Amino acid sequence: MLIEPWAETVDLRQLTEGAKALDSADPLAYARALFVLPEGVTYLDGNSLGAMPKSVMPRVQEVLEQQWAEDLIASWNRHGWIDLPLRVGERIAPLIGAAQGQTLCVDSISVNLFKLLATAIQLQDSRSVILIAEGDFPTDGYVAAGLALLLAERCEIRRVPIAQLPSVLDDSVAVVMLTEVNYRTGERYPMAELTELAHDAGALMLWDLAHSAGVMPIHLDDCNVDMAVGCGYKFLNGGPGAPGFLYLNKRLHNRVQQPLAGWLGHAKPFAFDARYSPAAGVARYLAGTPPIISMQALDAALDVFDRVSVHAIRQKSVDLSRFLLEALQGLDVLETLRCLTPGTESARGSQISLQHADAWGMSQALIERGVIVDFRAPDILRIGIAPLYNSFADMHRCAQALRDVLVSKAYDDPKYAVKLTVT
């Protein structure tokens, strides 16, 4: 259906007033001031690269000017660089429902998946299948496939639509790997239920929390999850290329090996023993020297979670999503773009995904109007919602800008014919 300019069903004043009222009643409104956000920009891509907390700049400056430039190598001890992966891991732990001693800040998701999937195969002597869902983030599947290639007949991939998971869980499955929130649709899968299902079939359960950590309560211990990985630069706001994290349930500690046995995962790295002897617990998942500057940035970024409950963050995410969907509906946008994100609130992450053949042009036209969203091939416009710095007014601006783009057909401009390298 063609969009009419400002259809009569739309009460723009009501929308503006609604956003204003909700923003002034918002208990998390204060948190926006904890971030650096460029003037005139509505940033709705925190699910891809979180905005920068103000606490980051002075920390990185201190790390450069004081710790590195002045104190040099003494900083490994003096400023606790050597303990940083465990310390930052413990700061992430409460956000993912992990008791102490199970979370490590280390490497990227891709590398951490390799380590944990290899561990899972080793723990499951007679089982060889890594079960994954169709449509999950490609890197997860690539890493699994790379491992399968390496391990030959010891490891194979089975990829099915998520709905078929229960029917293919047999005694060949070593580990089920799922992303809690799908990066394309924003659908959230029930962690407790699916973990129990995997366990009932004798499989281990590995969750990828890339799109959930920092934006909703997660209960890894309570769900008895075996393994998890997550991202430092999305909703944890650690900055581009920030290290990720890895969780290993303490039930499995000391039974596990990891394939990237490096010196910093050794029980005594500075004994320089020729034989490898792993550190106790999760620390053995360290391999090489951590990126200290990046990890310090992430550590400082985590300050924004100090005084806020993740339940409050989730509540605001749900409220913002509902408001955005109502605004898009009210402005007739959803008659042109199809909403891929589930209607049920508990089945949503913290993004709204809209599908249209011209989604690329639409994303670019929105960005030109100061509304930063992103695009996922072939036809998805993603609107990320970061409750710590997004407001109801942001949702309103996004809906209105998208309507402008549709009415003006700005997305059709030939300048959008070629896609950028990063979308």
Ligand X SMILES: *Cc1c(COP(=O)(O)O)cnc(C)c1O
Residues lying near ligand X in the complex (CB under 6 A): 108-110, 137, 139-140, 179, 183, 208, 210-211, 231, 244
How near is the Cβ of 3 to ligand X at its closest, in Å?
32
User: Would residue 136 show up in a list of annotated catalytic residues for this protein?
Assistant: no
Map tokens 């994954």 to a residue.
Answer: 132
The tokens for 75 are 């900083």
Task: Select 211 or 316, whichever has its Cβ closest to ligand X.
Answer: 211
Among the listed residues 208, 226, 374, 394, the single catalytic one is 208
| C-alpha to C-alpha distance for 216 and 210, rounded to whole angstroms | 12
User: Would residue 91 show up in a list of annotated catalytic residues for this protein?
Assistant: no
User: Would residue 285 show up in a list of annotated catalytic residues for this protein?
Assistant: no
Among the listed residues 20, 54, 71, 137, the single catalytic one is 137
| C-alpha to C-alpha distance for 247 and 250, rounded to whole angstroms | 9
| C-alpha to C-alpha distance for 419 and 423, rounded to whole angstroms | 7
Task: Select 140 or 299, whichever has its Cβ closest to ligand X.
Answer: 140
How near is the Cβ of 105 to ligand X at its closest, in Å?
12
Task: Select 208 or 299, whichever has its Cβ closest to ligand X.
Answer: 208
| C-alpha to C-alpha distance for 113 and 146, rounded to whole angstroms | 11
How near is the Cβ of 283 to ligand X at its closest, in Å?
20
How near is the Cβ of 241 to ligand X at its closest, in Å?
8
| C-alpha to C-alpha distance for 10 and 406, rounded to whole angstroms | 15
Asked if 249 contacts 103 with a C-beta cutoff of 8 angstroms, the reply is: no
User: Would residue 316 show up in a list of annotated catalytic residues for this protein?
Assistant: no
Asked if 143 contacts 242 with a C-beta cutoff of 8 angstroms, the reply is: no
Closest by CA to 157, choosing from 182, 135, 184, 129, is 129
Task: Select 6 or 142, whichever has its Cβ closest to ligand X.
Answer: 142
| C-alpha to C-alpha distance for 52 and 208, rounded to whole angstroms | 23
Among the listed residues 43, 233, 247, 389, the single catalytic one is 233
How near is the Cβ of 142 to ligand X at its closest, in Å?
10
Task: Select 182 or 296, whichever has its Cβ closest to ligand X.
Answer: 182
User: Would residue 419 show up in a list of annotated catalytic residues for this protein?
Assistant: no
The tokens for 145 are 């496939």
Query: Which residues carry out catalysis?
Result: 137, 208, 233-234, 382
